[in-house]
Amino acid sequence: MKPEGETKKKLLKVAMELIWEQSYGSVGVEDICKRAGVTKGSFYFAFPSKSDLVCAAFEEHWQWKRPILDQVFSAQVGAVAQFEQYSDLIVKDQIDKYKTFGKMCGCPYCSVGSELSTQDENIRHKMQQMVERAIKYLSGAVRAAVDEGVIKEKDPAMLARQIYDFTIGVLLQAKIDNDPEVLKRLKPGVFRLLGIKLPEPAAV
């Protein structure tokens, strides 16, 4: 990898780590450069601004996560199992971050989006794009549930948005309380919104 490519890779990794740990406003270019071990000159050669770096870091994170979501929401998996896997994936991701950083981190997309949506149009647009991508997966799962006769829903797209909104609310409350126990509300709440009974855990 060329030196500039290596620098970019380091900056993207560090930017994502710092956003998980802290907030956009509390992380400066100097903080990012220090942890990445690069100079400010190298930073601005790779990215015009911190805003551009953060948007690129989120895109990088999404591209990494997309194959996992493709598997979770695979057409080969029943709709009920898709929602179970979706809930389990989110909880696991949050618990992993809790173990890494020692605190609940919430959703980085929404944390940054809510922090800067009225200040930085570049970031607001990127966060909106991230949200729509996530809702697209959920919409597909809701439609699959309708097609399978699991639920009756006239507006799958709206239900998908409501499930997404609920998910973000649970993650935000877990972050505010700094309590992973809050995450236990996620799966039951998702199934309550779907209007179906949460499947019993498989016997060991």
Per-residue pLDDT reduced to its tens digit, 40-93 = 999 999 999 988 998 998 899 899 999 999 999 999 999 999 999 999 999 999
Indicate the pTM of the whole model. 0.88
Q: What count of Cα atoms within 13 Å lies in the side-chain half-sphere of residue 26?
A: 8
Domains defined for the chain, CATH in brackets = 55-194 (1.10.357.10)
The overall average pLDDT reported for the chain is 89
Stretch (H or E) spanning 59:
helix 50-72
Q: Is 190 left (phi over 0), alpha (psi -120 to 50) or beta?
A: alpha
Relative orientation angle of helices 50-72 and 29-36, to the nearest 10 degrees: 60
| Residue pair 60/16 in contact by the 8 Å Cβ criterion | yes
Q: Say if residue 198's pLDDT is above 50.
A: yes
The pLDDT of residue 1: 47
Percent of the residues in the chain that have a pLDDT greater than 70, as a whole number: 94
